[in-house]
Structure 1
Amino acid sequence: MHHATDLARRLAANAGAVCRRFLSNGQRQGRYWLVGDVRNSPGRSMFVRLEGPHAGKGAAGKWTDAATGEHGDLLDVIRESLGLVDFKEVCDEARSFLSMPRTDEPKGRWEQNPPAAGGSTEAARRLVSMSQPIWGTLVETYLRARAITALHETGSLRFHPRCYYRPDHGPTEAWPAMIATVTDLKGQLTGVHRTWLDPGGFSEAHLGRAPLETPRRAMGELLGHAVRFGGSCDVMAAGEGIETMLSQRTVLPAMPALAALSAAHLSAILFPDTLRRLYIVRDNDPAGDAAVATLIERTSAAGIEAMVLTPKLGDFNEDLRLLGANALRGILRVQIAPQDVERFMKLAA
């Protein structure tokens, strides 16, 4: 198996052929290939060096998008132009291309099965298909290290052992990741959320997440949709983070819940027709306050009762980890409707 650095070098030696194949909407101009962006959009803001040394300043195969500041090598071009999400698949495509660099070569797999656009719902679907259930994986270890024991109805969570991570600067890396499926009210996948994990285990510094600049990223269509735990019901809880909602389900195991993934997306969640009461699980920060205010307005207009659940610390996972399950149970018991205590806490008694 060729190392990624060697693959990138060999691609750079065939930079013109790589660009003709994977950036077909561009054109050569002198020593550069000009195209709209690394996803092969028409335009001229991105330029690829077709000639130059093997490494260092001015190296062949290096590209920069003047409009966005993005930059990288030809492995990135293959990945983004084909909408690939797995590093191995990128390397496989590179090896396949390098064995047949002619412009008149037979159609490859990427032409017979059109690639998904980078960051699209189809790319999200492919990532999910390449992942596996969480049981016995680093995802289960990660969640339990955060004191989360309510792992029932977590089919929306999956594990990928080497999920591609591209930092703003530096080479692409592969880290294990928790893959969360984002679905609409009909259960159709619209996107995914990735949490890259530290294979070294849990620490208070990173809370078990990989030591990356942005260890959590989403792709696909998120607005109005969410990561869901439990079926549809007349009562449900909604909050921002996956870990926050699973912490709540540790003491409210029977209550359906959804994680909107951010305060902005929480304020825009769509309500199922059956919903009569919504528990808004807030984070103790200004963004959480704004999301709560917007949701209260929307639920009131829809004739849905809204009740706010407030953690004692920063969020409910902090309450669970630092105060314990019994303390979290007491915090939530006095904030939910009396009829819901018996209905949704009974499994945790």
Structure 2
Amino acid sequence: MLSASDLAGRLAQHAEAVCRHYLSAGRRAGNYWLVGDVANSRGRSLYVHLIGPRAGRWTDAATGQFGDLLDLLRETCGLVDFRDVAEEARHFLSLPQREPVSDLRGDVGDASPVERPATEQARRLFRMAQPLAGTLADIYLRERGILRASTHAALRFHPSCYYRNFMTGRTTSYPALIAAVTDDAGVITGVHRTYLSPGLDPSGVGKAKLDDPRRALGGLLGNGVRFRFSVNASAPVLVAGEGLETMLSLSHVMPGMPMVAALTANHLAAFNVPPECRRLYIAADADAAGRHGIEGLSRRAQECGILPLVLSPELGDFNEDLRWLGPDQMTASLRLQLTPEDAVTFLPR
């Protein structure tokens, strides 16, 4: 039976055919295949090397994801178990491989995007996960001062979630915090996984000791993980930010405020603000990428006639504020940054 590296090498020999099959919304540009993301959206941020020593290697410049064609199959098909990834690769390699045909229609990226199985598999993974209360993920968040995470329907726990090292090809599994990514209609478009250290880790409860302990599956662009957000009621005021822990920390002291975690700075800049929103608070991150996300979302909000307001932490981020300054001081700081109306509505007296 072929090893993982052998399968990846065989796929790389047919890199363009793999792209045309699994990333049909993209197009060839020189020695690369360009597409929006692993969910087969239109765009150019994900590029796959088609020839040369790096054939089959791909990178998504927007999300930082990268890997070989086995990783691409896993993400586009939303597969969890490596055995399924290998079976998908063997199935593809068994198909007749046609010679590439030039795109006579021009940019095939203009074709309508097709919903890939990644979205379906993200929904399946979320259904397979268990309620958060009392799990290792709940303990992980409680260690960070977030005490009511289990009340959020968007969060679940998986005790043994598939993980593959992009560099070595080794596969294993870790417990994981699973967060549902939804669109503005409340439909799950993807999931976000935070891999956690096993419970026997003597260093305590924390993220798994991996180079990339956070990974996404499915469609993130324009969407996010939503807290206290009702799709059946208008949300004229909401807070948007990057990370789960940042937004959960804010939700801890403003439990009634609708909030969205876009997960990365690039996705924050591209978040689709609900049309009924009139005031948009943007939770700040201090790094350069965070400023890029704030500026991009602020600009888009203003173009839609929405007032953007920035919420800034006193320390490095809002989770540090919650843990080291405490909820009372964090509340006092936020009271000075919210409009008087929102401070009365959403902050405890």
TM surpasses 0.5: yes
Whether 1:68 and 2:47 are equivalent positions in the alignment is no
How do 1:1-349 residues align onto structure 2 when only pairs under 5 Å count? 11-12=1-2, 34-36=13-15, 66-68=55-57, 80=74, 83=77, 85-87=79-81, 90=84, 120-151=118-149, 153-170=151-168, 171-200=170-199, 208-232=206-230, 233-346=235-348, 349=349
- Preserved contact between residue 80 and residue 161 of structure 2 (Cα < 8 Å): yes
What do the CA deviations read for 1:237-286 (whole angstroms, capped 9, x no partner)? 00000110010011111101000001111111112122111111011111
Gap change, CA 1:88 and 1:42, over 3 Å in 2: closer
What do the CA deviations read for 1:68-110 (whole angstroms, capped 9, x no partner)? 18569xxx69x8499363338749979xx9xxxxxxxxxxxxx
| C-alpha displacement of 1:182 | 0.7
- Preserved contact between residue 132 and residue 156 of structure 2 (Cα < 8 Å): yes
Give 5+ residue unaligned stretches, structure 2. Answer: 23-30, 32-52, 59-66, 91-114
> TM-score, with normalisation over the residues of structure 2?
0.70
CA distance in 2, matches of 1:81, 1:288: 26
Alignment RMSD = 3.8
- Preserved contact between residue 251 and residue 345 of structure 1 (Cα < 8 Å): yes
- Preserved contact between residue 153 and residue 229 of structure 1 (Cα < 8 Å): no
What do the CA deviations read for 1:10-52 (whole angstroms, capped 9, x no partner)? x349x9xx98xxx9xx9x9xxx995438969669x9xxxxxxx
Percent of aligned pairs with the same amino acid: 43
> TM-score, with normalisation over the residues of structure 1?
0.70
- The aligned length equals 283
CA distance in 2, matches of 1:166, 1:208: 19
What do the CA deviations read for 1:108-137 (whole angstroms, capped 9, x no partner)? xxxxxxxx967x212212211221111121
- Structure 1 equivalent of residue 34 of structure 2: none
Letter in 2 for 1:265: H
